[in-house]
Structure 1
Amino acid sequence: MNTVKKPLDIIILGGGIAGLTTALALTKFAPRDAVPRIHIFEIRPVPATIGGAVNLTPNALRMLNHLGVYEVIRERNYGKDIDELEVFDLHSTKLAVSDFRGPEGKGIGSPPFKSLRITRGDSLKAVLEVIERHENITLTCGKRTVEIKETRDDVTITFEDGGSCTADILMGCDGIHSVTRLKHVDPTRKETYTGVCNAFGFARAPKGFEVHFQCTALNFSRRGIMLTSYHESTMESVYVGALMSVPDIGTGRDGWKQVGADAEKTRADILRRFGDSKIPCVRPLIEMAEDFYLWPVFTLSKDGQWSTDRCMLLGDAAHAMPPQGESTGIVFEDTVVFSRCLARWMEKGRPGGSPREAFAAYERLRKPRIAAAFDESRAVIGSVADAGWLGYALKTYAIPWYVWYTRKSRDRHFEEDVTQVALDY
């Protein structure tokens, strides 16, 4: 194989978790004598460290371990380990358990990992700490991209302030409202509202306050799903998140921002939906939660274009879908699989000059996995929809059987290590 000495220049649009982990993966898997120069541009004035609490499944933690982030999470004591996810009916009792302990109690896969509930802010802080260790990566905030031009040899982005940047490759890691997609890669593929909103806050429970779960619980109701979970090691704070059907307000993103800014209105809506729970701690947790945020859940169509000759979309920019329990891990796997494909192309001497061969290999590997995850996410939307008593009774009857029936397939996902997946070119 030819050895490539000249490093690539790569632009990443988006300084969130997808863009930052993409930069780390591109650095880790590049040929050692051709580590790329990576320029990350974020539209916000600073990286956004606010947000809810996500569940990092074993396969997600395995990717963060490869990228050097898991070590920082442990050193900083971020998040709370999860042995099992408990599933409850808010009107009666526990329905099922999804276990992360594995056959020896140490976790799932090799190396074994359990699961980790962590705030988006803490996970981002851990990634940013690792980013700062790499001289080949720069992060510039407060840059709004207004134009993207691609030629046979390079791609140039122009900013609102008149500045510009040119590179060999552009990575669109800028989320569901991706400028990279809407201005260049696939302008006709726009996000659509799913009819579901995620409302969340954090309740600092008083000492001795009793909850109905060991660490994290998914609580079903006739009018949505509520997640209650510890998210830090002291277990002094409980994440309270609700997925619920909310009609489209019809005024776009700005209108949703105005509605979401009314925390007390959101709290009142959550109390109407879940406040009649027979589980004693649920109503007080809703009442104690601080500063509820309301986020509409958008999605993209299942099929669409992910790339051009020199631009590639990753994460939500390519395949945003409703939450289905593994969304964050899927993004991490995206970054690693893509980086390995690009590294293989570099090792082969960059045949043809364009990375299109690497892009095509990545899409062949990932599109079937994303299609399956997309289908799974549709079930989430169905489970959130308001239901009558009969429909809800049938749902609660089916949940334990579904958890049992799908356990082997979940564990196979959790065992995955995409650094070991064979590349087909």
Structure 2
Amino acid sequence: MAPQQPMNILILGGGIAGLTTALALTKYAPANLVPKITIFEVRPEPATMGGAVNLTPNALRLLHHLGALQEIRARDYGKECLAVQVFELYSGQQLAESSFAGPEGKGLGSPPFTGLRITRGDSLKGVLAAIEKHPNITLTCGKKTVDIHEDDEGVRLTFADGSTAHGDVLVGCDGIHSVTRLKHVEPSRTSTYSGICNAFGFAPRRTLPDNSSQLEPVHFHTSGMNFGRRGILLTSFHDRAEESVYVGALMPMPNIASRDGWKAAGADADAVRQEMRSRYEGAKHEVISHFIDDAEDLFLWPVFTLSKGGKWATQRTMLIGDSAHAMPPQGESTGIVFEDGVLFARCLTRWVERRAAGETDEPVKEAFDVFEGLRRARIDAAFEESKAVVSSVQETGWLGHRIKMNIVPWYLWWSRKGREAHFIEDVTTSELGY
């Protein structure tokens, strides 16, 4: 590739990671070197299945930089979240909260952002709307990759329909079961099922028995984590209307029907609902049992993980997000993915600028190495923090539960500065060092 020519970038994965990475590669490119980006998605259309995620201040800041938050807000998606409240299930008492409000109640960081609880589907729609404004980005669905070949000239993808695509670099944003990783970067690094699933659904709020126009009150403002002896039940609004509540819980499930998420049906759905009732019975707030009973559909999403570390890149291929470092879900998971894409885009753009200026004759792997050097420590720390998620589904006795409930407020107080440091972090301004 001649240094003065725009790059031809291939991205595998049309989910939130691939789309935001494409936006970042476009935004940070020099005006005369905006890359041609083609995103290939194996599904016939981008998947909108999923629960309600909490976009933390750092995640919202990056979406704002990429022009996607503006699209989300223009469509009135999501519900502002000033704090995630923590409740003891059986007493109903609020023990603590993880706040995004900041010292003045306007958010954290510069510019300040709070949090946003939003369905995965709505967040994806907002990002897709931003993608449509960039003619250099093409999203092609229904493309199953069967072969990846890399040489000094670039990367060639071969698809099941016999067609091919060639690019200067390949970015693997295709998730935990990444074809990019399994067919090319590190085939031996396979995912491991954690033994737990996220069971979730959306429940319409009931009206009061004596007032058909007034909705049943809830005990949380936007999002509440309800700690019981057998795990944590998340209850949350996900849009401004507050007429529907997302209810989700991680539960042990030794046998799974699919490595991908699926909608429970018939006896399967009844069993899941009954298990959720059993795990969270005895709740002080009756509305919790109503949410479980009234969830119109129940979905199961198995939690797979990768081993810590691993190989992220070859000479012309880079893994981003879950394809590189999938871990149990934790409060900052989505923000970490956005940070990956933006920081990688900045590293690659800097390499392009240096090549164009004659400052380096190093291959593109130089940019990949800089990205990894900046990112590994943050990912390793998040990986360690996520380990507690799997153990949270194990049943504890009453004494153990009481001890845990005494510890939680102190832990959230002790760890607040560390969390807020992450929330104010802005990888668009961090030093690249080259």
Taking structure 1 as the reference length, the TM-score comes to 0.96
- Residue 72 of structure 1 is matched in structure 2 by 71
Q: Distance in 1 between matches of 2:431 and 2:144?
A: 38
Deviation at residue 353 of structure 1 after TM alignment: 5.9
Displacement of 1:142 in angstroms is 0.4
- Return the alpha-carbon distance in structure 2 between the equivalents of residues 202 and 391 of structure 1: 31
Contact 2:79 2:240 in 1 (8 A): yes
CA distance in 1, matches of 2:70, 2:132: 15
Structure 1, 306-315 or 264-273: larger mean CA deviation: 264-273
Q: Deviations over 1:224-279 (max 9, x none)?
A: 11100000011111000111223x2277638x858788322211111111132122
Q: Which residue of 2 aligns with 1:238?
A: 245
- 3-state SS, counterpart of residue 226 of structure 1: strand
**Does the alignment pair 1:421 with 2:430?**
yes
Which structure 2 residue ranges, 5 or more long, are not aligned? 208-214
One-letter code aligned to 2:225? L
Which residue matches 1:411?
420
Give the Cα separation in 1 of the matches to 2:125 and 2:231. 31
User: In structure 2, how many angstroms separate the alpha carbons of the residues matched to 1:419 and 1:363?
Assistant: 16
Whether 1:300 and 2:300 are equivalent positions in the alignment is no
Partners of 2:264 and 2:298 within 8 A in 1: no
Equivalent-residue separation in structure 2 for 1:395 and 1:352 (angstroms) = 56
Q: Let me know the Cα RMSD of the aligned residues.
A: 1.6
| Distance in 2 of aligned mates of 1:15 and 1:319 | 18
Q: Which runs of 4+ in 1 moved over 3 A?
A: 256-261, 350-353
Q: SS at the partner of 1:305?
A: coil
In structure 2, the CA distance between the partners of 1:399 and 1:42, relative to structure 1 (3 Å rule), is same
Equivalent position of 1:389 in the other structure: 398
The equivalent residue for 2:114 is: 114
Structure 1 stretch displaced more, 326-335 or 220-229? 220-229
What is the distance in 2 between the residues matched to 1:102 and 1:251? 43
Q: Is the 8 A contact 1:174 1:180 kept in 2?
A: yes
Amino acid at match of 1:399: V
Which AA in structure 1 matches 2:45?
V
Deviation larger for 344-353 or 126-135: 344-353
Which residue does 1:201 correspond to in 2? 201
2: distance between equivalents of 1:188 and 1:260?
Answer: 35
**1:193 Cα offset (Å):** 1.2
Q: Which residue of 2 aligns with 1:42?
A: 41
> Is 1:335 matched with 2:334?
no
313, 325, 329: which one pairs with 2:331?
A: 325
Tell me which of 340, 346, 368 is aligned to 2:377. 368
- Answer whether contact 1:260 1:295 (CA < 8 A) is retained: no
Structure 2 CA distance for aligned equivalents of residues 188 and 290 of structure 1:
40
**Deviations, residues 116-150 of structure 1 (Å, cap 9, x unaligned):** 00000000000001111111000100000000000
Equivalent residue pairs, number: 421
Identity among equivalent positions (%) equals 58
Report the Cα distance in structure 2 between the residues aligned to 1:151 and 1:103, rounded to whole angstroms: 53
TM-score normalised by L of structure 2: 0.94
> Who is 1:282 aligned against?
288
Q: Which residue of 1 aligns with 2:15?
A: 16
Alignment pair present for 1:227 and 2:228:
no
8 Å Cα contact 1:224-1:245 kept in structure 2: no
Pairing 1:141-290 to 2, within 5 Å after superposition: 141-207=141-207, 208-246=215-253, 248-249=254-255, 253=259, 257=262, 262-290=268-296
AA partner of residue 314 (structure 2):
T
1:47-83 per-position Cα deviation (integer Å, ceiling 9, x unaligned): 1112110000000000000000111111110000011
